Structure 1
Amino acid sequence: MNAAAMPDTNAFLMNLVEQAGPVAAGIAVVLLILFFGLKWSGAFAMIGSGKSVIDNERLDQLATGIENIGERLGSIEGRVAHVERGLDDRVRRSEVHDLDIALARMEGRLDMMAAASQATGASVTRIEDYLLQLSQNAKNK
């Protein structure tokens, strides 16, 4: 700091103490010291300039990585769409239930047909036996 700025600073501080009180003056002094200390150390230079924090090569690598992620997401999206189409073609639970009911009905009908054919078979056997007895009785007479 130069000598010409000192009286202005002293006058500013005295004026601040008179108007705001000693606590506010102390806070203002600490903030001024922090501000000028950070400015002198170069900390503010890095905040304003992105080039000093991240170099162009690193930015290019990040951009390439983001492009690769986009390509992979596109690939995954295609695979998910393929799986969804496959799921649409699969049998649903309600369809399997309907098939179970139809199969149970068919089994019932087959059981009825088996019982009817068994009864018909027994009738045919009785008629055959009767006819054989008639023919044997006719031969014996």
Structure 2
Amino acid sequence: MLGLIQRVKQASVVVNSETVGAIDQGILLLLGIQKTDTQDTANKLIDKLLSYRIFSDSDNKMNCSVQQIDGGILVVSQFTLAADTKKGTRPSFSSAAPPQQAEALYDYFVAQLRSKHPKVATGIFAADMQVSLINDGPVTFMLEIE
């Protein structure tokens, strides 16, 4: 499971000219689900996401998690993160989970995350989404869970 996280001042996702998810300060998570991912993988990523220290403390050091700052999390499905880009000039998506498997795991991920954190917004799985954000820093990390 792949999670590209960005520390944001605000972020939103629009589908068909309608805002379907938005947060203020927090994390924008672009979530890539691979064929080998399971509910256990999702749980591990959730735990890491909630405890990952990317927000500044009083000494301006990255020592605080999204939970500690009471920030929001915007989850957007992003199958292109699973692309193999090592060869050629066209990405291969052979490691990405098939849509039915990915959607079930995405739904599980969101439900579990919401049970552990009160401020979770989402995009719409497999929709054509427009994502807007104000990246804070910029601070961006790739979280990989096997």
TM-score range, shorter chain: under 0.3
Instruction: Point out the structure with the larger helix share.
Output: 1
What TM-score results when the alignment is normalised by the length of structure 2?
0.17
What TM-score results when the alignment is normalised by the length of structure 1?
0.17
Instruction: Point out the structure with the larger strand share.
Output: 2
Q: Which of structures 1 and 2 has the bigger CA Rg?
A: 1
Higher relative contact order (CA 8 A, sep 6+): 2
